[in-house]
Structure 1
Amino acid sequence: MTLLPHTHRPATSRPAWLATALAGVVVPAVAIGLLADAPPGLVAGPILATGLMGAGMIGAAAAGRLWIGVALALLTGAGLVLSGRMAGLLPPAHLLPAAFAMLVASVSFAARGALFARSMADKGWWIAVAVVAGEAAIIATAAARPGDLPEWLLVLLPAQWASAAIRAALGGASTLAAGAPLLALAGTAAATLLVARLWPSRWPYLVMFTTWLALSALVWHNPAP
């Protein structure tokens, strides 16, 4: 998970790291504080998914290294889990399956950030910020107003896959029960890293988008409990 070959490390800046901290730590932490009275496990999935996505995707794009994004996402996830436990948002059991789901999601989000860094250099983190903001807004809306957004839209979003997998794990479902969103996260990570490794060749984008659509269909037909 080192810097991908032939990639110039982006010229990181203070705004990039501030955006990483804001999206990955501050916003989810504020959400935990505001939603402390919510039923345990109800909002934990979207909050943890947002934190992992913010830290992993923006961090990887800012640093130009996949492993930095993964490490930041996992550290952020651990901190949010601890905060959630203290606030009563996370049930005390089933944290190990949730940790596995968070690991898969962290790699998937960081892979996208690494691709942004490879294709857009020092502007990649701006793309990551836009993607994180968009997906976070959609999964927050889906959590706050169930049924308002069409299911076909939600199944297209890796952030929603992560949220569903984490929620299922925290609810006591087996890893196999959440297999479709986990497989989707892992599959898109592999396809994204293929594109990044073969950049500037453009044909791998077809593989990536085909994989994304196929795995979205898998999630549609096999939703997490």
Structure 2
Amino acid sequence: MTEILLIRHGETAWNAIKKLQGHLDIPLNAEGTRQAKALAAALENEKLDAVFSSDLQRAVQTAGEIARLQGVSTRIDANLRERCFGGFEGMLYSELPLRYPEAYATWRSHEPDSQFPPSAANNVGESIRQFQLRTISAITHHARQFEGKKIAIVAHGGVLECAYRAAKDLPLHAPREITIYNASINRFKWDGAKLSLIQWGDISHLETTAALDEFNQDKVA
């Protein structure tokens, strides 16, 4: 049995304004950096045998804070990247139904094999089916490598959703039923054959830090 802490990266400027990132490499903003440090501090007393990360810098920066306090190196895996959204990337969510009404409606219908309009580089992105296969294969590969141990995997909202679907045996076309928080801790177990969900959406470490920040500001004032 492998224990997996599946973590979404901290906030970026694009998260804050609801702009679709996908494979675009956006760094953490100041709030995201604060979140990553609070997350690392919350996990400091949990012995992690390895810390894995997507190769996109928002994940690498978040994982780096965890790895630093754990005294380990971050292991980079491009297969843990967010879903590629083709021509949708770099656009505000509010712009999508206006710019690509048909493609947006198809995307919202959760059709497992639907594609995206191509990007300027002619990249059409990934279907849900392709994305699910890529990410779950990566997660379970690392779980097998560290059987009987505890690992952290820092990735993206879409990757977390794929793991949730796999653990709950949800069909690919099912609509999202959970909230995916930046810098959240989501606990899974891998028994050699299947993922199971232990805990979802723990952000208590962020609330505590925010409360302390507010207290300290009041104290200074």
Q: TM-score, with normalisation over the residues of structure 1?
A: 0.27
Flag the structure with higher strand content: 2
Q: With a CA cutoff of 8 Å and minimum separation of 6, indicate the structure with the bigger relative contact order.
A: 2
Q: TM-score, with normalisation over the residues of structure 2?
A: 0.27
Flag the structure with higher helix content: 1
Larger Rg: 2
